[in-house]
Amino acid sequence: MTGASGFLGRAVAARISAAGHEVRTFQRRPSGVPGVEDVHGSITTAADTPYAGLAYAVSGMDAVVHLAAKVSLTGDPAEFEAVNVGGTRTVLQVSQRAGVSRFVYISSPSVAHAGASIMGSDALPASPEHARGDYARTKARGELLVLAADAPGFSVVAVRPHLVWGPGDTQLIDRIVDRARHGRLPLLGHGAALIDTTYVDNAASAIHAALDAAPAVHGQSYVITNGEPRPVVELLAGICGAAGVTAPGWRVPAFAARAAGSVIEAIWRHRAGTDEPPMTRFLAEQLSTAHWFDQRRTRADLAWTPSVSLDEGFERLAAHYRVPR
């Protein structure tokens, strides 16, 4: 598994390891998952160091879960390209050479998203031309790359979890909580857009299920969610409530946020520093238009259903933050 030191990666590695599989991880930092063998390295520098670490990590394995990616709202386009396209190509080639028979690529619903509301549609083909932003565009290209490599004896499945969250998540939850705590979390529009999310345990179990089902469902893409869309403001309130901070109380019209996001994004490009801009056009769209998916094919094909409901997820989050309920 690549990228096992991240929030989702740790959960997936732990789950697959707990199921009795031998797991080897590959990333720059220790994964921190007990019982797995960490191999350190980078999927972008791997090419310069004759694949040594990566080739070893993959050798003798039956399956590869490729999770490593550059996930960010802004950044150097070349870096997105290098990690999400180049790195994916490298992992794919090394896996093929090592005789791996299953390859699960962790993708994102944004690879097929052109900015309009998504209300109950199933996974559409990845479309780099229409994807918004460097992350989505490069993930889309990565997905097309791996699916094209699907072949007899090499079963490729693309899994697209949507907005993964849970205790210990620094990407989404901590940012929301941090902004809310400092009163910097506005509500976009009326906050009624229905958004479906994925509790981290459900994302992990779905990826595990995709690994199991790969020989039967190879060549396909699946969106993964809890299947419980809620108005975005309720989700934010649920997260903030669990973290013991005040939910957003002020409102910015969605169109204004989108416009502002575009401007801020442009400024951030020419600005030194590594911090994230407060708002991007992509994020504004994400938070003001509906994003929920038809989960029937996913659940039937992967023989999987989410085991942790949204409300149970909020409870676990509250426990994590030690907020009495």
The catalytic residue positions are: 135
Chain-centroid distance of CA 8 in Å reads 8
- Told to check if 117 binds other proteins by CB under 8 A, we report yes
Nearest CA among 220, 207, 208, 98 for reference residue 155: 220
Helices (H), 60-153: 77-80, 88-97, 133-148
Within 8 A by CB and 6+ apart from 308, the residues are: 199, 201, 202, 226, 316
Mask for 2-41, x = binds other proteins (CB under 8 A): ----------------------------------------
- Told to check if 193 binds other proteins by CB under 8 A, we report yes
Q: Closer CB to other proteins, residue 271 or residue 296?
A: 296
Q: Closer CB to other proteins, residue 137 or residue 258?
A: 258
Minimum CB–partner distance for residue 145 and other proteins (Å): 29
Which of 150, 234, 301, 315: binder of other proteins (CB under 8 A)?
Answer: 234
Nearest CA among 124, 6, 131, 134 for reference residue 65: 6
CB 301 within 8 A of CB 286: no
- Told to check if 45 binds other proteins by CB under 8 A, we report no
Minimum CB–partner distance for residue 164 and other proteins (Å): 19
SS3 246: coil
Minimum CB–partner distance for residue 116 and other proteins (Å): 9
Residues touching other proteins, count (CB under 8 A): 27
Task: Tell me which amino acid residue 224 is.
Answer: I
Minimum CB–partner distance for residue 242 and other proteins (Å): 13
Which of 246, 269, 296, 303: binder of other proteins (CB under 8 A)?
Answer: 296
Identify which range of 26-34, 85-93, 201-209, 233-241 contacts other proteins by CB under 8 A: 233-241
Which of 109, 228, 243, 280: binder of other proteins (CB under 8 A)?
Answer: 228
Q: Is the dihedral of CA 133, 135, 81, 271 positive or negative?
A: positive
Q: Give the Cα separation of 113 and 300 in Å (integer).
A: 23
Q: Closer CB to other proteins, residue 16 or residue 223?
A: 223
User: 31 is written with which tokens?
Assistant: 């994964």
Q: Closer CB to other proteins, residue 156 or residue 237?
A: 237
Identify which range of 102-110, 213-221, 283-291, 314-322 contacts other proteins by CB under 8 A: 283-291
The phi-psi region of residue 242 (left if phi > 0; otherwise alpha if psi is between -120 and 50; otherwise beta) is: alpha
- Told to check if 194 binds other proteins by CB under 8 A, we report yes
Identify which range of 155-163, 197-205, 264-272, 292-300 contacts other proteins by CB under 8 A: 292-300
Minimum CB–partner distance for residue 253 and other proteins (Å): 11
Which position has the token pair 């997260």? 239
Minimum CB–partner distance for residue 295 and other proteins (Å): 6
For 28, 47, 295, the CA distances from 54, given in Å and listed in that order, are 11, 9, 34
Chain-centroid distance of CA 163 in Å reads 7
Q: Give the Cα separation of 284 and 257 in Å (integer).
A: 6
- Told to check if 313 binds other proteins by CB under 8 A, we report no
